[in-house]
Chains A and B, each alone.
Chain A
Amino acid sequence: MPVTVIQAARERLMGSCIVAQRGVGAAGLSCAAVPASANDLAVRYLLELSTDIRGALLLDRDGELLASAGQLPADDLAAVGQRLVEAAHGLSRNGRPRGAQDGAQVAIEIDVLSTGGAMFLLGEDDLMMACVTNRNVHPGLIFYDMHAVLRDLERAAAAESLREQRGTR
């Protein structure tokens, strides 16, 4: 039984692939052979949550690009993601709240308003998520959706590790 929305989406996707496999025959095998990862599903789910979000990318805290979806016209997304994470690290180092331990991950929210749109960046625990929207959006609502997806992703990872532990026993 799926625990999170992302797991439910994955099962739905796998189910449709199996149907395609049965209906099309050998041609459907390629679809079933490449199931989307939880990261891909999470980014796609964010785009489904809000029509204002044009594109999104998911990174780890080291700047490695985990997934991306939607319209992101940047030529080298991995490099842009790396620079985004570096900029966020710089800001969180400078503005570290009192009492925060060195090395502890600080939650960070950045919203950048430009003439052609807006960019939002959210960092929590080990993940960072960025998305690009129109200018006329409510930042609080976009961050709310991003928080929901990141939380869902963490829950999915926890459920996955629990399942693996049970499988090894």
Chain B
Amino acid sequence: MKRPGGRLGGYADEVAAAMRRRKEVRRPRVRVRLDHGEARLLDDRTPETGRLLTLARELIGEPPAEEPPREPPREPQDAG
């Protein structure tokens, strides 16, 4: 079956998938396993994750992560 993007489109898809996988693996994450049960990934937004990441960075000797710049609040636009 012929791809809609041709051969080049296929390569682009593969590169994009590889980049996505690489980014997923490199993303900081916290995994917990209790009482020899199943391991689960903690949600990035929980305070426990933030606390453990900070402690890990202190032990590793890595500078603390900078918070992403927040977008300024948009002014409400008039409907009329």
Contacts and interface: CB of A to CB of B under 8 A. Distances in A.
Contacts of A96: 34
Nearest to B29: A113
Size category, B interface: 20 to 34
Q: Is the interface of A mostly helix, strand, loop or mixed?
A: mixed
Given A100-B35, A108-B33, A110-B32, A116 B57 contact: yes
B48 A114 contact: no
Contacts of B62: 114-117
A82 B51 CA distance: 12
A141 to B, nearest CB: 15
Interface string B50-62: 0111011111111
Contacts of B33: 108-110
Grouping DSSP codes into helix (H, G, I), strand (E, B) and loop, the B interface class, with mixed when no group exceeds half, is: mixed
A136 to B, nearest CB: 10
B6 interface: no
B39 interface: yes
B26 interface: yes
A130 B59 contact: yes
B34 A74 contact: no
B45 interface: no
Given A110-B30, A110-B31, A113-B28, A97 B59 contact: no
A72 interface: yes
Contacts of A84: 55
A72 B59 contact: yes
From B28, B34, B60, B62, name the one whose CB has the most chain A CB atoms within 10 angstroms. Answer: B60
B51 A83 contact: yes
Contact of B52 (A71, A87, A92): A87
Interface of A: 55, 71-74, 80, 83-84, 87, 90-92, 95-97, 100, 106-119, 130, 132, 139
Given A83-B55, A112-B30, A130-B59, 18 more contacts: A72-B59, A73-B59, A74-B58, A87-B52, A90-B48, A106-B34, A108-B35, A110-B30, A111-B30, A112-B31, A112-B53, A113-B30, A113-B31, A114-B57, A114-B60, A116-B60, A119-B59, A132-B59
